[in-house]
Amino acid sequence: MQRDVVAVDPAEFAGFDRGCAEFLRVIETIRALAGRIAEQEYWGLGEDDPRLISAAAVVARLRAKARHGGNSVDAVLAAHARVVAELRLALRRAFEEFALVDEEWADRQRSVDGAVTQRVSTEARDVRV
C-alpha cells in the first residue's frame, strides 16, 4: 500500500518567509505614514477658519481614521501584521519538523537559505556602489 506523499520544495519555504518579511516591512512603513498623517498639524483645508466648521470636522475624522479606534488604519494594519507573523511562525515550526524527520530536506533548505543570503548581500552591495 502506497502512503500519501506531500512534496515540499525548500525554495518555496524560503520564498514564503521572504514574502512575509517584506509584507511586514511594508505594513510598518504604512503604519508610520499613518502616524505622521495623524500628527500633521496643518492640513490646508481651512480648518483654522472658524467659519468652515466642516473643514475642522474633516481633519478630525482623517486624524482619527489614521491612528485612533478599532477601525483605524493603524489598528487594521496591526491586525494584518499579527496574522502575517503567526503564519511565519507556523511556517518556521513546519520547517523545524521537516528538518527533524528529513536531513536531506534540511540540507537543501540550508543551501537555499545560503543562496538567498548571498544574493541579498550582493544586491545590497550593488545598491551601495
pLDDT digits (tens, 9 = 90+) for 17-44: 889 999 999 999 999 999 998 898 888 9
Q: Average pLDDT of 49-67?
A: 90
Instruction: Tell me what percent of the chain is helix, strand and coil, each rounded to the nearest 5.
Output: 80, 0, 20
| Model pLDDT, residue 122 | 44
The single residue listed with the C-alpha cell 530536506 is 105
The single residue listed with the C-alpha cell 489598528 is 75
| Model pLDDT, residue 123 | 42
| Model pLDDT, residue 114 | 63
| 109, pLDDT greater than 60 | yes
Instruction: Give me the torsion for CA of 69, 42, 58, 78, rounded to 10°.
Output: -20
Residue 31's CB is within 10 A of a number of other CB atoms, namely 19
| Model pLDDT, residue 124 | 40
67 neighbors 33 (Cβ within 8 angstroms): no
Reported confidence tier of residue 5, pLDDT bands at 50, 70, 90: low
Q: Which residue has the higher pLDDT, 46 or 12?
A: 46
Rounded to 5 degrees, what are φ and ψ at 69? 95, 165
| Model pLDDT, residue 2 | 55
In the chain, the amino acid numbered 34 is: A
CA angle at 52 for the pair 51 and 53, rounded to the nearest 5°: 100
